């Protein structure tokens, strides 16, 4: 299995909705074209920033179809295919394979809190259902489930198509152990922008980045600086992103990213209820952050 395609800056793409909260197919295509024109290395859809939990299954699969059609092989498509049950995740992963995505990005079950052995069974069953590369997605702040490094190692040992993990835990020590404990090369992607550089330093392949929804060129500039060995420049850019990560706390997930996108000229519409728009004072605080970073994006 050729894993060399899976690297770099991949926007954790927000799913566009119209003002009345309908899935906006046209805007989805426009945003994908915009990100590819910026030079991103992949497109990730139907993840947590993409409000997969707010999509019905028909919308979910239509989103994958549009992504595959629009990308047209230019970069890999990472498709969120997770679910609360193994049965649901297998069904969506099989559908994603038929649609033509390049990699299944599978969040842990949420609401339920499976044990580590149950997680191994869950992921190996999903991997056995197709020949798609499967990447585990660890996001304990959202799911209350944490994938331990030994669990990734065992899953990869039992299922050759499990290729690594996207880690949004924020725990750099754990992220490094994912690389150290596996018997074969494990792809490691950051899901938190403030530690994206740290994981690159420790051998990570890239970032599936929320901030790249708003400032893709700047995140690409960080990645390129690291790749050419200019660590000081990469650190400088990483620090520029820090206030945006802090701003996520201004509203319910994931409204802040969508309002920041609109301020930066990449409007993806509202979030679906019950999440509501930011209050006026919080929106102004977010605007200050976006306007502080915007000149760096233009210069990238």
Q: Kindly report the length of the chain.
A: 300
From the candidates 137, 179, 223, 258, which is the catalytic residue? 137
Look up residue 270 and give its DSSP letter: P
77-80 and 206-209 strand pairing = unpaired
Residue 208 annotated as binding site: yes
Q: Shortest CA distance to 135 belongs to which of 185, 100, 172, 181?
A: 185
Return the beta strands (E) in 192-277 as ranges: 206-209
Look up residue 40 and give its DSSP letter: -
Q: Across the strands, what pairs with 166?
A: 137, 189
Is the CB of residue 1 less than 8 Å from the CB of residue 198?
no
Asked if 137 is an active-site residue, the reply is: yes
Look up residue 165 and give its DSSP letter: E
From the candidates 35, 78, 123, 166, which is the catalytic residue? 166
Asked if 35 is an active-site residue, the reply is: no
Q: Assign 16 to helix, strand or coil.
A: coil
Cis status of the peptide bond prior to 82, with omega within 30 of 0: no
Residues of the binding site: 208
Give the residue numbers marked as catalytic. Answer: 137, 166
**Residue numbers belonging to the annotated binding site for pyruvate:** 208
């Amino acid at each position: 299995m050729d894993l060399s395609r899976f690297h770099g800056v991949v926007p954790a793409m927000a799913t566009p909705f119209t003002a009345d909260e309908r899935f906006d197919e046209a805007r989805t295509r426009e945003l994908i074209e915009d990100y590819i024109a910026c030079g991103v290395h992949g497109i990730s859809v139907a993840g947590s920033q993409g409000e997969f939990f707010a999509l019905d299954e028909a919308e979910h699969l239509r989103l994958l179809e549009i992504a595959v059609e629009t990308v047209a092989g230019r970069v890999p498509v990472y498709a969120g295919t997770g679910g609360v049950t193994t049965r649901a995740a297998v069904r969506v992963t099989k559908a994603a394979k038929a649609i033509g995505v390049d990699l299944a990005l599978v969040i842990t079950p949420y609401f339920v809190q499976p044990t580590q052995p149950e997680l191994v069974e869950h992921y190996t069953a999903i991997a056995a259902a197709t020949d798609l590369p499967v990447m585990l997605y660890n996001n304990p702040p959202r799911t209350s489930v944490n994938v331990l490094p030994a669990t990734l190692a065992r899953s990869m040992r039992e299922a050759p198509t499990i290729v690594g993990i996207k880690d949004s835990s924020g725990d750099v020590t754990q992220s490094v152990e994912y690389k150290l404990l596996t018997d074969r090369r494990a792809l490691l992607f950051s899901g938190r922008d403030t530690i994206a550089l740290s994981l690159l330093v420790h051998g990570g392949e890239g970032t599936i980045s929320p901030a790249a929804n708003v400032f893709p060129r700047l995140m690409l500039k960080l990645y390129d600086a690291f790749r050419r060995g200019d660590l000081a420049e990469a650190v400088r850019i990483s620090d520029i992103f820090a206030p945006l990560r802090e701003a996520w706390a201004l509203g319910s997930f994931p409204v802040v990213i969508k309002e920041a996108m609109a301020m930066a000229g990449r409007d993806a519409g509202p979030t679906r209820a019950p999440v509501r728009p930011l209050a006026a004072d919080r929106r102004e605080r977010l605007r200050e952050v976006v306007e502080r970073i915007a000149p760096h994006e233009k210069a990238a």
